[in-house]
């Protein structure tokens, strides 16, 4: 007679306890109060710094980089570089929770709330025909955009989001998108 493995039986219960949930509850019923979002990119320091200025790109990834011209070429071909991304792409958070957004990429990004996803304020980084969303207009001259800038190695926190769905994108690299549902 085969007896059930204690690990197979205990694992769901232990996982629920580790998440702070009562047995049988789900993460949707008891969403976290803080979610970390990581901004990533793979800028090539040589080509980016030659074009934009010394020390602009501080890429520290090993063996992974994209030249500035290849970044623009990918966007023009409607296939933006997937190395520029927010991780995770979406999350559920409890009301009153905090999004802690850290830039672990090599260059600056924004984490700007938008009504709908669209283009950013750097036209060559918008896909052909993509219009800049109103929230990104004016670039860093727009105080609302400037407040959402995340420099390499820094963190911003977003809190006090109302219940419902909220969309965020990078106003520089508009294919970097994040959706959060506040429960």
Using left for φ > 0, alpha for ψ between -120 and 50, and beta otherwise, residue 90 falls in beta
Structure tokens at 124: 């060559």
CATH 2.60.40.420 in the chain: give the residue spans: 31-182
For the structural domain made of 31-182, what CATH number should be given?
2.60.40.420
Give pLDDT tens digits for 82-106. 999 999 999 999 999 999 999 999 9
- Which pTM was predicted? 0.82
Give pLDDT tens digits for 130-175. 999 999 999 999 999 999 999 999 999 999 999 999 999 999 999 9
**For residue 13, what pLDDT is reported?**
33
Give pLDDT tens digits for 12-65. 333 333 344 444 444 457 888 999 999 999 999 999 999 999 999 998 777 789
DSSP string over 74-102: HHHTT---TTSEEESSEEEE-TT-EEEEE
**For residue 62, what pLDDT is reported?**
72
**For residue 18, what pLDDT is reported?**
38
**For residue 95, what pLDDT is reported?**
93
Give pLDDT tens digits for 106-118. 999 999 999 999 9
Strand pairing class (155-159; 98-103): antiparallel
């Amino acid at each position: 007679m085969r007896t059930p493995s204690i690990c197979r039986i205990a694992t769901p219960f232990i996982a629920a306890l580790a998440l702070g949930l009562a047995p049988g509850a789900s993460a949707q019923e008891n969403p976290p109060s803080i979610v970390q979002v990581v901004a990533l990119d793979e800028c090539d320091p040589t080509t980016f710094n030659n074009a934009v200025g010394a020390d602009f790109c501080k890429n520290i990834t090993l063996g992974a980089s994209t030249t500035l011209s290849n970044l623009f070429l990918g966007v023009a071909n409607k296939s933006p570089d997937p190395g520029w991304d927010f991780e995770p792409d979406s999350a559920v958070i409890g009301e009153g929770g905090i999004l802690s957004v850290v830039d672990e990429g090599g260059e600056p990004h924004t984490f700007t709330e938008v009504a709908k996803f669209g283009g950013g304020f750097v036209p060559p980084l918008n896909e052909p025909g993509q219009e800049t969303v109103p929230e990104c207009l004016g670039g860093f001259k727009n105080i609302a955009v400037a407040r959402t800038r995340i420099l390499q190695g820094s963190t911003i926190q977003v809190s006090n989001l109302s219940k419902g769905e909220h969309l965020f994108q990078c106003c520089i690299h508009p294919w970097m998108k994040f959706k959060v549902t506040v429960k």
